[in-house]
Amino acid sequence: MTRVFFLFKKSLCNVGFSLLLFYLTVVNASARDLGLPDFATLFEQASPAVVNISTLTTPKARQSIYGPGGDEIPEIFRRYFGIPLPDETPSGRAQPLSLGSGFIISSDGYILTNNHVVEGADQIIVRLSDRSERSAELVGADKRSDLALLKIQSDRSLPVVRLGDSESVKPGQWVAAIGSPFNFEYSITKGIVSALNRSLPSDSYVPFIQSDVPINPGNSGGPLFNMNGEVIGINSQIFTRSGGFMGLSFAIPVDHVMWAVDQLKAKGHVTRGWLGVAIQDVDRDLAESFGLEKPMGALISQVVPGGPADKAKLHPGDIIVRFHERIINSSGVLPMSVGVINPGEKVKLEYIRNGKRKTVDVEVGQLPDENSAASEHRGNQIPSDKNPLGVQVAELDENYRSKLRLAKDIQGLVVIGVNRGAGRSIGLRQGDVITDLNNSNVTTVAEFKKVVTRLPRNRSISMRVIRGGNPGYITFRLQE
């Protein structure tokens, strides 16, 4: 009887084991059918075209991936340079330092990486997947998009990456990065696309791909792959409060990259289109103050005298909603759209002025070199009548223009005192210049008083303010 029970139990175990094997087989087959990512195959096929990049340079002082002296700079978009630079050797020469990654885009030795990886280097060294090293020539670089094109010589045909189409990328898609974080060469990390067309404070001309792929020092300049093993972007920046990866990484789309590469090959730099305006986003309050049904477009806060927008008769307060057949949902989309237009080309621009849509042809100019912002200066306090805003203003004379370094074409009123009230709550201070209030130009104290007395209550009111040479719109409400 005992033996019969044992045989019966053994038979049940065999049946259970068979059912388990059947279940695992079905699950694995279902996983394949569902298209779960095969990162092993991706790495095997793509990694030979990924390279490690080092530089030789003679640093003036010890630097780090944080700020000067190693102090942390919190809550900013950081570009990663890699491990802190070493001190100079007794001979005055620095040792090679692994700064980042790159990838080969042509079999004759053209390589893409980030500009910040190789900027200021005396010598650039590229290490290939077979661990051989080549000295690289800097063909060209573009600081605005953080791109650099290198060229190495080789006596054989080099492995190359396959380039994808960043326009077809969608949030939620699996992606992977290959690079050398902290000099751990050929490391692969994975994640998904989080968002598209991100505009960052330091790079308004790049429509970044946001992902949650872990990126660390040394990944800069490396490729971001889709699951077909195609490059869809170059890993460039992360957002962090701690100095390490926090789930927000940003890559330059490959379509934007290849647009720049053609120019880098031809002339060593990138030429961009220019509209000649300062813009800002339209939030809910601004939309209400301008009579819009919902927030949309790019609000012009300043027009450069003699620039393309000025010649097209665009004004501060105009809201650009379409440029060259592209809808401008937010201000961050406009610089990207203008930048890829060839200087001298005429395009259609649609904007809203006083609640009415208008269309104009604009001849796009060439984006000038970056200029440093003007320093902020403040005027002396002069008594003036009070108003519901709680601010004191004076007309711009030559004395104020000189102190504030304002151009002669700027018209408005300088803030010379701030008392309790709406002005203080929205952060107005001495030296600010108010040019528009509630969609009306104000150039004299009398005009200002007249507009202020008619300000509506319990609704959004817009005000255009110039501070330190930089214009912008702010909104506020006056309570009953």
Active site residues: 116, 146, 220
The tokens for 359 are 């269309």
Bridge-based pairing state of the strands 230-240 and 162-163: parallel
* 3-state DSSP assignment of residue 19: helix
Q: State the DSSP code for 369.
A: P
Q: Which of 358, 423, 362 is nearest to 391 (CA)?
A: 423
Q: Which of 53, 28, 68, 25 is nearest to 111 (CA)?
A: 53
d(CA 365, CA 476): 35
The tokens for 281 are 């986003």
d(CA 112, CA 102): 5
Per-residue 3-state assignment (H helix, E strand, C coil) for 192-211: EEEEEEEEECCEEEEEEEEE
Count CA atoms closer than 13 A to 266's CA, side-chain side.
8
How far is residue 82 CA from its own chain's centroid? 20
Amino acid at 196: L
